[in-house]
Amino acid sequence: MYTFSNKLRIGSFIAMAVGLIFLAIGFVSAPSTVEEAKAIVAAAHDDGHGGGHGEEATTHAVASDHGAEEAHGEGHDASHDEHLLHQLQNRPWSALYVAAFFFFMISLGVLAFYAIQRAAQAGWSPLLFRVMEGITAYLVPGGIIVFVILVLSVLHMNHMFVWMDADVVAHDKLLQGKAGYLNPTFFLVRATIFLGGWIFYRQYSRKLSLAQDESDDNSNFVKNFRWSAGFLVFYLVTESMMSWDWIMSVDPHWFSTLFGWYVFASMFVSGITVIAMVVMYLKSKGYLQEVNDSHLHDLAKFMFAISIFWTYLWFAQFMLIWYANIPEEVTYYVARIEDYKLPFFGMLVMNFIFPLLVLMNSDYKRVNWFVVMAGIVVLAGHYLDVFNMIMPATVGDQWHIGIPEIGGILFFGGLFVYWVFTALTKAPLLPKRNPFLEESRQFHY
C-alpha cells in the first residue's frame, strides 16, 4: 500500500491555497466598468515601457503613450470599449478555464490510454494499471469543476462563449444557423452525457479491476476488456464533440474538421507524460520495485511518438488553412500569429523539437531525469496549447501569463496532485491477479 507522503500533501495544499488567492486577485482586479478597463490598459502600457527603459526614457515613453492614448480615445467608439471591457473581464475566467480543462484533459487522456491498454491486452502495462487508475480518479472532481464553469458561462457570469449571448445571436446570421447545435440547453445536456459516460467507465472499470484481485477466475478481467473496447468507441465520438463544444465554440465562426483529433493528441501525450512522471516518482520512493527501465522506455517511446503525432495534426490543420487562405478560416491563425507569436510558435518548439531531440536516443529514454525534464517541457507546452486555443477568442490581445494564469495552474495542479495521490493510497499499487501480470513483471525490451 502507498502512503501519501506528508511533504507532498502539504505541498499540494499550499499550491491550492496560493492558487486560490491568485485567482481571487485575478477576479477582484478585473474591471467592472469601461472606465476601469481603459485605465488598466493605460497602466499596463506605462508599466511595460517603464520596465524596459531607463529613467529618462520612462518619462518620454509615458508622455508619448498619453498622446497615443488621447488620439486613440477619440477614435474609439462605445462598442470597442465594451469589447475591451469584456476581454479584461474574461481574463480570470479564461485563466481558470484553461487550467481546469488542462488538468481534466490529462486524466481523460490517461483514461483513454488505460482503455487502449486493456482493449489491446497489452502485456507490458498491467503493472502500471493502478497508477493509471489513480490518475483517472481526478476525472470526477476535475470533470465536475469544468462542468460548473460551463454552467456559470451559460448563466452569463462571463463572456467566454459569445454564442451563449442571446443579443449577439440575434444580430449574427452565422450563429443563428448554428443555433440548432450551439444552444445552452443542448450544450449542457451534451456535457452531461460526455462526463457521465467517461466517469461511469472510469468507476466501473476500477471496480472490476479491484474485484479481479479477489476473484478466483478471470470473468472480471474479460468484462473489463469488453467495457474498455466499448468505451473507446464512445470516447472517440464524445471526445470529438467535446472538443467542438468546449474549445472550438469559443471561436463560433470558425471550424476545423480535424480539431477533435488535435485535442485528443494533446490530451493523450500529456496523459502519458503524467503516467511516466508519477511512475518515476513512486519508483524513486521505493513503491514500484518491479517496474523496470523497460517500462519507462516504453512510456517514453509513447511520449516521443505521440508528440510527433500531435505535431503532425497541428501542422496538418495549420498548413491546410494557411495554404488555402480562405478568409473565414484563416482569421483563426491570423489572430494567433499577430497577438500570440511567442506562445504559438514557442509551443511548437516545446512540444515537437524538444522531445524529438531529447527522446530520440534509446538510451536517454531509460534515464529518469531525462524523461522528467522532457515531461516537464511537454506538459508546459501542452498547457500553452490549451492557452492558445482558448485565450485568443476570449481575451484577444489583452493576454498575459500573470497572476490569474499562474494561480489557475497552482490551484488545479495542487488539487490534481492531492486527488491522484489520495486515490493511490486506496488500493495496493500492484494488481494481484491479472492474466498478463507475470508477463508485465518479466517485461524486458
Partner 1 sequence: MASKVIQALYNDDDVLMHAVKKVRAEHHHIEEVYTPFPVHGLDKAMGLEDTRIAITSFMYGCLGLAVAIIMMNYIMIADWPQDIGGKPSFSYLENMPAFVPIMFEMTVFFAAHLMVITFYLRSRMWPFKKAENPDVRTTDDHFLMEIGVHDNEDELTALLQETGAVEIKVTEKES
Smaller CB separation from partner 1, 335 or 423: 335
Stretch that binds partner 1, among 60-68, 253-261, 322-330, 389-397 (CB under 8 A): 322-330
Q: 154-163 in b/e burial notation, b at 16+ Cβ within 10 A? A: beeebbbbbb
Q: How far is the CB of 144 from partner 1 (least distance, A)?
A: 40
Q: Which is nearer to partner 1, 374 or 415 (CB)?
A: 374
172, exposed or middle or buried, with CB in 10 Å at 0-12, 13-18, 19+? middle
Closest CA to 298 of 120, 125, 113: 125
Report CA-CA distances (Å) from 161 to 18, 35, 143.
28, 24, 19
349 binds partner 1 (CB under 8 A): no
- For position 442 contacting partner 1 by CB under 8 A, the verdict is no
- Which one, 361 or 425, has the nearer CB to partner 1? 361
* By CB under 8 A, residue 326 contacts partner 1: no
Q: How far apart are the C-alpha atoms of 209 and 424, rounded to whole Å?
A: 14
Which of the stretches 148-156, 246-254, 281-289, 321-329 binds partner 1 when contact is defined by CB under 8 A? 321-329
345 binds partner 1 (CB under 8 A): no
Residue from 123, 138, 37, 44 nearest 88 by CA: 37
Helix, strand, or coil here: 125?
Answer: coil
User: Quick check: 325 binds partner 1 (CB under 8 A)?
Assistant: yes
Q: Which is nearer to partner 1, 323 or 369 (CB)?
A: 323
Sole window of 230-238, 319-327, 340-348, 407-415 interacting with partner 1 (rule: CB under 8 A): 319-327
Which span sits near partner 1 by CB under 8 A: 62-70, 100-108, 312-320, 334-342? 312-320
**Nearest CA to 435 among 218, 290, 268, 249?**
218
Q: Which is nearer to partner 1, 360 or 376 (CB)?
A: 360
Q: Per rule CB under 8 A, is residue 342 in the interface with partner 1? A: no
Q: DSSP assignment, residue 149?
A: H
Among 60, 315, 326, 400, binds partner 1 (CB under 8 A): 315
Alpha carbons 86 and 335: distance in angstroms, whole number? 17
Instruction: Give the separation between CA 94 and CA 27, rounded to whole angstroms.
Output: 11
Cβ atoms 430, 117 nearer than 8 A: no
With binding defined as CB under 8 A, does residue 323 bind partner 1? yes
| Alpha carbons 190 and 315: distance in angstroms, whole number | 29
Query: Is residue 322 at the binding interface for partner 1, with CB under 8 A as the rule?
Result: yes
- Contact segment (CB under 8 A) with partner 1 among 124-132, 315-323, 341-349, 433-441 equals 315-323
4 binds partner 1 (CB under 8 A): no
Measure CA of the first residue to CA of the last residue in the chain; give whole Å.
28
Query: In angstroms, what CA-CA distances link 146 with 93, 110, 247, 386, 412?
Result: 12, 17, 12, 14, 11
Nearer to partner 1, 24 or 320 (CB): 320
Contact flag: residue 319 with partner 1 (CB under 8 A): yes
Examine residue 360 and tell whether it contacts partner 1 (CB under 8 A): yes
Taking the least distance from each CB to partner 1, the nearer of 63 and 319 is 319
Instruction: Output 209 or 317, the one with its CB closest to partner 1.
Output: 317
Rounded CA-CA distance 381/348 in Å is 8
Which residues of this protein are in contact with partner 1, per CB under 8 A?
Answer: 315, 318-319, 322-323, 325, 360, 362
